Structure 1
Amino acid sequence: MALTRVSKDRGGAPPSGSGSGSVGAGAGGEKGEVAVLDPAAVKTALILIVGVMAVIFDTTIVSVALHTLAADLDTSVSTIQWVTTGYLLALGIAVPLSTWGQQRFGGKRLWIFALSLFLAGSVGASLAWNVGALIGWRVVQGVGGGLMLPLMTTLIFQAAGGKALGKLVTYVALPPLLGPILGPVLGGLILTHLNWRYMFWVNVPFCAAGLFLAVRGLTDDTPASPAGPVRPRLDVPGLLLLAPGTAVVLLGLANAGSSAGFSHADVVVPLVLGVVLLAAFTVYALRRSRPLVELRLLAKRSVASSTTVLFFSGFSLYGAMLLMPLYYQDIRGATALSAGLMIVPQGLGTLLSRVAVGGTIDRFGPRVIALSGFAVVAVATIPFARSGPHTDEWQLAAWMVLRGFGLGAVTMPVMVAGYIGLEKHEIPHSSVLTRTAQQVGGSFGTAVLAVILQNGLADRTAEPSAAFRTAFWWSVGFSAVAVLLSLWLPGAQKPAKPAKPAKPADPVSR
């Protein structure tokens, strides 16, 4: 495998197999050992999180504004959907490029470029003069965001050097957990009291601060000899298979959610084409010595299990997040802002899990914590599957706190599992695999639950709340499947055996 030559391409020493370049066999050292965070890794994490918050909040804020945008820009809802769909497709195309971009230009330079691109897209979107311009600038944002999301995880885990991953992942997991919860609230406030253009100006302070901190604080890891004979080359055939394949799968899933079914041509054709392209990339990548994304990492249990479970965590997180705001609006008559506020308790639970769970991953391993977290998510979703128009709000809020705690507990250990036992140069490839799995899983879960909900609402003989109850029961089922899949994750690592002292030399032989 040519992965052993990648670190040379970046100007560093070749990997040592199990030396300091490895993320290690465990989540953070020996079982029972007190994991200590490296201040340099914490600094890197905080710098990157400032910038990535713009991407996370932007994605979730825009999701609540489509009807307002359609009215203000005098266009149909089907057209304005491309504000979200175009962004999603650009994101899927850009994610695989992050691995090559880091090898070719260095993580710091790629991060600054991607964040600058996202800033330009945000300013352009806020000044958009028609729906076509808005969609175009959203595509620019999607390219920047697609580079940033996997790169953030890669740089943080590489900075950690395999130490205290459980504690460190609490920083990595916070933005994607809070975004879907706080984003709709912020979006509702802006749409209620300000113009929709301010949704994109929210990103500017995050981008500006993130750029300043990145320039001043990130370590310069520019490859030493970018013009040398081992200069990393972009795997163009792999890119032409993987990027469009991922993009059209996401397009098909997005169409499934809006078309209320998987039998429409605009759903079937993209899904079939995407699967064919991804299958072709798989065959191509397994035959190539240095592919765009190293699929052979899936032979490792840690990466394969993490990727699979992250796919289903997308079901549990994003799928149910589609249902809950609609439940409060359609069944309980809440406004968009009120529905957003109703979801805040889940964010509080997420924050609690961040404090309680992060330090325990290094001690107990990902398997036990992820399994328990998915079980909590399943149990805490059951009250919504039994609710109606007049269910006590405070009771539901309490269950939301518990559900948020479970979601936070799930995301952190599964993310750690994807990097256990990897060499430093393998981390970017794992970042792409896990990020893509979570993204496609979230899109697929959202589409499936949207179809189930729409089919239930189409039944005029049943009350609308019955359709929501059915969809929530499906969400419970997805979480139960994830509980079983969590058994595949790595468990607590055994303490490393101390090396035996070398025997003293025989004085006679001297």
Structure 2
Amino acid sequence: MPPTEDRFEPLVRRTIAVILLGGIMGILDGSMVVAAADTLAERFDSSLAVIGWASTGYLLALTVAVPVTAWAVDRVGGRRLWLFGLVLFLIGSVASGLAWDVGPLIAFRVVQGAGAGILDPLMLTLLIRTAGPGRSGRVVGLMGAVGSAGPVVGPIVGGLIVQSLDWRWMFFVNVPIVIAAFLLARKVLPVDRPAADAPRTRLDVVGVALIGPGVAASVLALSQAAEHGGLTTPYVIGPLAVGLALLGVYVAHALRRRRTPPLIDLRMFAHRGFPVGVLVLAFNGVATYGALFALPLFYQQAGGEGPFAAGLLLAPLGVGAVISMPLAGRLSDRLGSRTLAVAGATLTVLSALAFTFVDGSTGRILPVAASLTFGLGLGCTSAPTMGAVFKVLPPERVAQGSSLLYMLNQLGASFGITLMALLVQSAADPVTGFHHVSWALVFAAAAMLAATARVPGRDRTPSPVLEGASL
């Protein structure tokens, strides 16, 4: 039974508070490690391209775990799965803090990313199910505001830790927070065991085996391009061919009729507005994490700033997203998603263009202002787009739809980090590298802008679940 109006608001707010206490740690860890790339490269005597895999491996594991989560949530229950995700994230955090070399660090970050891959999509799935499709924009906006605190707090905390303490505390700081999140979740989240008559669908093991290596090999190709200085070497062409072949086989596998449902049902792309939402959020991931990776490096390498100061200078990007996501999400339920998404993407393009005028002698006002408007644009694009997608998906597709959106957004983030590492490492100097990154951000934002023109407009159908309730 849906919550009544007088109980709906406290129920949603309590759920947001408890779930995001655990979910925010995955977002923080992603941005903390990205901001510390230069420090980790020096400590491990490694290249930026290799260190980038500490973030890329995390995001790839997250990407593969997301669709498995969509299958598991109805089979084992959201509460059980959430608690398991917290435990897995905790194990990965402790192991990453104990890493003795860059190889083990990347491996343990994969474990941590698998835990985040359970928590991230499950967070959205549980909130959407609680609020109903008619309030999806508001829920996405509220959740996004808290989630966007990662780019604000993560680089600052990460910079402060690597400047004042040992880098290992970037991971050890998770331990008390995750333990608290686990205990509170056991107390607050309702037990939601699957019904006895619920369909017992099998996991698409073949799909997992194809998607995981396919995505990893494709991203590995870009990383090898950074290591070997080109896109035409066998080290690049080989992994790319393998990755594309595996993903192509998965497409054929998913479209074939059989008893076991595919891990990712590609027929979701037949729903109006869903393919556009996927494109928008994928390019949003490229732009977000590309900027998160490149800006701290620029401030440290070209501007001479320390890690903590670089984190503070990066914070306006996250502040912009925190401001715009809840506002845009709420307005999208009233005014429609397309207008807000187009406006946000346009602002993102203009902000990325401003980065191309920045060099070592520019000062800090222009890059900081551009970072703020860049974050405003990204938040104003993503929240309405996600809200529009959940309005067009039928309720039974929400779990898999949210998982697929998360997966492709994080895949875009993986490509974004790897591509930016390639551009920075192959440049003659830090300023040239940053200019190359800035133009890459312009192209990613322009592609996002082109896709937002097809985002569904205003939905005039009232919410059948929670009409009259407020967030």
Alpha carbons 2:59, 2:414 under 8 Å: kept: no
In the TM superposition, 1:118-137 aligns within 5 A as: 118-129=89-100, 133-137=104-108
Is 1:335 aligned to 2:301, yes or no?
Answer: no
Is 1:270 aligned to 2:239, yes or no?
Answer: yes
Q: Deviations over 1:324-358 (max 9, x none)?
A: 22222232222222222111222222222135323
Deviates more, 1:426-435 or 1:386-395: 386-395
Is 1:63 aligned to 2:34, yes or no?
Answer: yes
| Residues 288 and 247 of structure 1, relative CA distance in 2, 3 Å threshold | farther
Q: Choose from 454, 459, 468 the match for 1:493.
A: 459
| Residues 73 and 320 of structure 1, relative CA distance in 2, 3 Å threshold | closer
What is the letter of the counterpart of residue 245 of structure 1? G
Return the alpha-carbon distance in structure 2 between the equivalents of residues 77 and 388 of structure 1: 21
| Residues 71 and 465 of structure 1, relative CA distance in 2, 3 Å threshold | closer
Q: Deviations over 1:110-166 (max 9, x none)?
A: 111111111122123323455555444323212211222222111111111213222
What is the letter of the counterpart of residue 91 of structure 1? L
Q: Choose from 144, 161, 176 the match for 1:205.
A: 176
Return the alpha-carbon distance in structure 1 between the equivalents of residues 418 and 163 of structure 2: 28
Structure ID, larger Rg: 1
Give 3-state SS (helix, strand or coil) of 1:488's partner: coil
Alpha carbons 1:238, 1:284 under 8 Å: kept: yes
Q: Choose from 481, 497, 501 the match for 2:447.
A: 481
| Residues 391 and 434 of structure 1, relative CA distance in 2, 3 Å threshold | same
How large is the Cα RMSD of the aligned pairs? 2.9
| Residues 454 and 45 of structure 1, relative CA distance in 2, 3 Å threshold | same
Instruction: Name the residue aligned to 1:151.
Output: 122
Q: Deviations over 1:161-208 (max 9, x none)?
A: 213222111232235433234312211100111112211111123211
Give the paired residue count: 459
Q: 1:80: Cα distance to partner?
A: 5.3
Deviates more, 1:179-188 or 1:246-255: 246-255
Return the alpha-carbon distance in structure 2 between the equivalents of residues 481 and 85 of structure 1: 22
Return the alpha-carbon distance in structure 2 between the equivalents of residues 280 and 129 of structure 1: 38
Instruction: Name the residue aligned to 2:144.
Output: 173
Return the alpha-carbon distance in structure 1 between the equivalents of residues 49 and 375 of structure 2: 32
Q: 1:323: Cα distance to partner?
A: 2.5
Alpha carbons 2:163, 2:306 under 8 Å: kept: no
Instruction: Name the residue aligned to 1:250.
Output: 219
Instruction: Name the residue aligned to 2:367.
Output: 396
| Higher helix proportion (structure 1 or 2) | 2
Deviates more, 1:374-383 or 1:440-449: 440-449
Give 3-state SS (helix, strand or coil) of 2:392's partner: coil
Return the alpha-carbon distance in structure 2 between the equivalents of residues 197 and 57 of structure 1: 14
| Residues 88 and 403 of structure 1, relative CA distance in 2, 3 Å threshold | closer
Q: Deviations over 1:24-63 (max 9, x none)?
A: xxxxxxxxxx9x9644233322221111111111122123
Deviates more, 1:181-190 or 1:243-252: 243-252
Alpha carbons 1:56, 1:175 under 8 Å: kept: no
Return the alpha-carbon distance in structure 2 between the equivalents of residues 297 and 247 of structure 1: 23
| Residues 219 and 422 of structure 1, relative CA distance in 2, 3 Å threshold | farther
Q: 1:299: Cα distance to partner?
A: 0.7
| Residues 84 and 441 of structure 1, relative CA distance in 2, 3 Å threshold | closer
Q: 1:260: Cα distance to partner?
A: 4.6
Give 3-state SS (helix, strand or coil) of 2:161's partner: helix
Return the alpha-carbon distance in structure 2 between the equivalents of residues 239 and 251 of structure 1: 18
| Residues 196 and 330 of structure 1, relative CA distance in 2, 3 Å threshold | closer
Q: Choose from 401, 405, 408 the match for 1:430.
A: 401
TM-score by length of 2: 0.88
Return the alpha-carbon distance in structure 1 between the equivalents of residues 281 and 311 of structure 2: 25
Q: 1:496: Cα distance to partner?
A: 5.9
What is the letter of the counterpart of residue 320 of structure 2? G
Alpha carbons 2:38, 2:297 under 8 Å: kept: no
Identical-pair percentage: 37
Q: Deviations over 1:71-107 (max 9, x none)?
A: 6567777765554444334323322210121122111
| Residues 342 and 496 of structure 1, relative CA distance in 2, 3 Å threshold | closer
Q: Deviations over 1:289-310 (max 9, x none)?
A: 5212211011112221110111
Instruction: Name the residue aligned to 1:472.
Output: 438
Q: Choose from 196, 200, 203 the match for 1:234.
A: 203
Return the alpha-carbon distance in structure 2 between the equivalents of residues 495 and 425 of structure 1: 19
Is 1:215 aligned to 2:166, yes or no?
Answer: no
Return the alpha-carbon distance in structure 2 between the equivalents of residues 180 and 150 of structure 1: 18
Q: 1:312: Cα distance to partner?
A: 1.2
Instruction: Name the residue aligned to 2:71.
Output: 100
Give 3-state SS (helix, strand or coil) of 1:164's partner: helix
Instruction: Name the residue aligned to 1:141.
Output: 112
Return the alpha-carbon distance in structure 2 between the equivalents of residues 258 and 176 of structure 1: 33
TM-score by length of 1: 0.82
Alpha carbons 2:124, 2:402 under 8 Å: kept: yes
